[in-house]
Amino acid sequence: MYFWGTCLKEENIKDLMNCKSLDEFFARFFGLSFQERMSVLGNEYTVPAGTILYRARKYNGIPLVNENEWWVAPPKYVKRGRFNYDRKPILYLGTMEFVLPREIGLKPGDSYYLAKYECVTGFKVGSLLKTNSLVTHVLHKVAMAIENDSKLTENERKNLRVRFDEITPMRILDDYNSPFYLHRCMKKDLYMVTNRLADLIMQKSPCGIRYCSCFIPTEMSGGPQIITLDGEIEGNYALTEKGISNLRWLGCERKMYTEEDYKRDMSMWINIVNNSMDKEDT
């Protein structure tokens, strides 16, 4: 992890990773970021021309068929999200259309619209993917975490285990299921943290951020290699107006989120992780 011309000191990394709670970790981390004027967290990636991106919106009785309904809303209507403050427009997109109904919290029987965009001109985005950086790996896990239990299916809630009374930075890395329950272990609101991370990333990458969905939790960063599902471009994107200017809208279609879609959840993954950790504990 780098600052403007300097590198995070080894003693700082050790102190951060030895924190007894996430709240302590972020208090120290953001203190360092202010003190050292940190701007670069992870690697930058180019979204190449021709990349197809998608956006899902729930159908609430009003057809969403016009292009002007698929770009950012006027600031006065914008509410805080994962990487944006109130009144700060950000467009949330993804390359994997099957993930998006989970991201917006659809339930079986819900109707939704799926819009399609094409990248016309390649542009760079920031990320939290970086080799040999445990601190950035912790940030990556927090950035992909769900914000509340309503995003989990009934089976996911039933199978999920919170193994620790107090979640620490190292425990986040030990448990691949941690993005599903981190929100329960933080005194601070999750979006307060992720918005401040976005501020740091966008100092270097003003077009936006590439991040991982917790519903495709196979990404690994922080070690000697970065592991992703199908290349670093596959993922979710939070794009500013500068990033959006490189896209064109291709249209949208209305779809139904079915019971079969709903049952195709992460409960099997959660159980695999549980079983693996049980073996480690014995």
Cα–Cα distance between 184 and 170 in angstroms, integer? 17
Q: What is the tens place of the pLDDT at every residue in 257-269?
A: 999 999 999 999 9
Is the pLDDT higher at 281 or at 6? 281
The pLDDT value recorded for residue 6 is 42
pLDDT of 8 > 80? The answer is no
Residue 189 has pLDDT above 60, yes or no: yes
C-alpha dist (Å) from residue 214 to 101, 121, 127, 177, 251 = 13, 28, 15, 9, 27
Task: Find, among 175, 169, 178, the residue nearest to 280 by Cα.
Answer: 175
Residue 7 has pLDDT above 60, yes or no: no
Return phi, psi of residue 231, to 5°: 90, 155
**Cα separation, 139 vs 69, whole angstroms:** 32
Cα–Cα distance measured from residue 40 to residue 201, given in angstroms and rounded to the nearest whole number? 6
- As a whole number, mean pLDDT of residues 190-196 equals 95
Q: What is the DSSP letter of 7?
A: B
Would the pLDDT of 3 be above 60? no
Amino acid 152 reads L
47 with 123: CB under 8 angstroms?
yes
Spatial contact of 238 and 94, defined as CB atoms under 8 Å apart: no
What confidence score (pLDDT) does residue 115 get?
98
* N-to-C CA span, the chain: 35
- 242 pLDDT band, cuts 50/70/90, is very high
Taking only the tens place, the pLDDT of each residue in 13-64 is 899 999 999 999 999 999 887 665 554 578 999 999 999 999 999 999 999 9
pLDDT tens figures, 149-188: 999 999 999 999 987 777 899 998 889 999 999 998 888 8
d(C-alpha 256, C-alpha 213), whole Å: 21
Alpha-carbon gap, residue 69 to 192, rounded angstroms: 27
Q: What is the pLDDT of residue 91?
A: 98
Write down the mean pLDDT value for the chain. Answer: 89
Give the pLDDT confidence score for residue 257 in this predicted structure.
97
Helix (H, G, I), strand (E, B) or coil at 259: helix
Rounded-to-integer distance, Cα 106 and Cα 152, Å:
10
pLDDT exceeds cutoff 80 at 271: yes
